[in-house]
Amino acid sequence: MPQTQYTARTLPQVVAESAAAYGSRVAITDGDVQLTYAELDTARIRSARAFLAAGLEKGERIAIWAPNIYQWIIAAIGAQSVGGVLVPLNTRYKGVEAAYILRSSGAKMLFTVGEFLGARYPEMLADQVLPELQQIVSLSGEAVNCQSWEAFLASGEAIPAEEVERRASALTPEDTLDILFTSGTTGNPKGVVTCHGQNIRTFETWSATVGLRSEDNYLIINPFFHSFGYKAGWLAAIIRGAHILPVLNFDLDAVLVQIARDNISMIPGPPTIYQSLLAHPRRNEYDLSSLRLAVTGAAPVPVELVRQMREVLGFEVVVTAYGLTESCGVVSICRADDSAERISHTSGCAMDGTEIQCVDAAGQPVAPGVDGEIWTRGFNVMQHYFNNPEATAEALSDDGWLKTGDIGVMDEDGYVRITGRMKEMFIVGGFNCYPAEIENILCDMPGVARAAVIGVPDERMGEVARAFVVRAADANPDEADVIGWARDHMANYKVPRSVVFLEELPMNAGGKVDKAELAKRSPGA
């Protein structure tokens, strides 16, 4: 989309536009609750009135600590319509972790649930010091010292809808939409500040590139607290007028039933989602003919998996993408007509209107085919880290490039292959090793469904690779098989010296392998 032809918009404008364009079409189905786009816009305004009654001012933060439920969306768009800034919290957090984000963001209000998978979030905060938190609302279920969602909404009935419109009209595309905190794997989480206009443009571009349509029934398995479930999830669906079907807790059998029952056409997620569907022993008993679009990433995607997704599961379109919180969730995307090999071995090329380059340690571009740090520049790049100018200056160059910290190789066509994280790199006898590169190769081995690699100490070499492997269904490779195959397919210094077989790789909530947990599971750890 050329910049001269693009009109930046705010979130309340987008929701209102979708209501006007798709008014009677179903926007959300969550259990027994179903809302059309017109009803979603009405719910947005009602929620916004309640935020005004609570005294929420432009720029103040509200946090949501809850699983994928429709109230999550209504609370978010209600606050964002009157200038509130959304701060999502990971549902896997413990009280100390959630309290850190609440304090760091200065959140004024928290929206949560009484209980989810045995976790009682309000109780987990009982002994935490939260000086700026003024109100806790339970979106679903009862909890001590929490206002109910129904009571919260009722509190706004005295506020005229015109006041919501006035506040929404005063917003600009440059106003802050949200603050998403990074995973904190290399220290305390940092708050990534992004604005209305850049998020909307990013996911207009993303949804057009992957081919999301208004007639799609979009099963959102990825958690709403992550950009994959929030921005590439319900926000992209609203932009395109698609039907949102949130998944509270992933259950493979329930998903197979729902695909047939609700004519699900769009399922995004990490490769494990599709591998699980393929491996289900009774998959042929379910009607999966409605499946059309799959967007994956966050882990190596074997070529054979792409082929099976197309030929066995029946997806018309399978694409991979790459992004990070600091880029509104998207850096690069494959195109729908890319080959299975390109979809497997790359993460696509830059979104329209953005740039990618691979650079050396001095920040100078490297030639195609040469490893370098991936930098991106464009409308998708964050504004800054919240209250952290030092980290902001470290991440952003003077001329607007975001230094991702990821290592990759770009081909002549601009397609990027991720080979590792700078911070995950280990050195084997003087040679740099990037786990993602080894993982990608291992995932092409017959009998290997998933693989993850870490560096472990070695007296002679300094460090060597250790592979953690999930076997494919009906396959039984052993350690010698994996090491032997690796010797035939990669440089010797990259070959894992040991292999640990697992039923599943430990994953974080964003669908990425938890390398710290793997290190704990290593023999001798």
| Residues 447-498: tens digit of each pLDDT | 999 999 999 988 777 789 999 999 998 899 999 999 999 998 887 888 999 9
Q: What's the rounded Cα separation, in Å, for the pair 10 and 7?
A: 10
pLDDT at 140: 96
Indicate the pLDDT class of residue 283, thresholds 50, 70 and 90: very high
Model confidence, pTM: 0.85
pLDDT at 186: 47
CATH 3.30.300.30 segments of the chain: 426-521
pLDDT at 422: 67
Q: What's the rounded Cα separation, in Å, for the pair 179 and 86?
A: 6
Tell me, what amino acid is at 279?
A
CATH 3.40.50.12780 segments of the chain: 250-421
Encoded tokens for 331:
């850096």
Q: Which CATH number fits domain 39-197: 3.40.1650.10, 3.20.20.70, 3.40.50.980, 3.30.720.200?
A: 3.40.50.980
Superfamily of domain 250-421: ANL, N-terminal domain (3.40.50.12780)
- Read off the pLDDT of each residue in 53-70 and give the average, rounded to a whole number: 98
Indicate the pLDDT class of residue 420, thresholds 50, 70 and 90: confident
> Residue 321 forms beta bridges with which residues?
333
Q: How deeply is 396 buried, as exposed, middle or buried, from its count of CB atoms within 10 A (0-12, 13-18, 19+)? A: buried
pLDDT at 1: 42
Could you give the percent of the chain with pLDDT greater than 70?
A: 96
Identify which of 36, 24, 329 has the alpha carbon closest to the alpha carbon of residue 205: 329
**Worst-scoring range by mean pLDDT, 72-76, 209-213, 431-435?**
431-435
- Read off the pLDDT of each residue in 342-349 and give the average, rounded to a whole number: 92
pLDDT at 187: 57
Q: What's the rounded Cα separation, in Å, for the pair 322 and 294?
A: 14
Say which residue the tokens 């009571």 belong to.
151
- Read off the pLDDT of each residue in 1-11 and give the average, rounded to a whole number: 77
pLDDT at 11: 98
Encoded tokens for 480:
């010698």
Indicate the pLDDT class of residue 424, thresholds 50, 70 and 90: confident
- Read off the pLDDT of each residue in 226-254 and give the average, rounded to a whole number: 96
Q: Are 79 and 176 in contact (CB under 8 A)?
A: no
Of the chain, the end-to-end C-alpha distance in Å amounts to 51
Helix extents (H) in 11-160: 11-22, 37-53, 70-81, 95-105, 121-124, 149-154
426-521: in CATH 3.30.300.30: yes
CATH 3.40.50.980 segments of the chain: 39-197
Indicate the pLDDT class of residue 301, thresholds 50, 70 and 90: confident
Report helix, strand or coil for 302.
coil
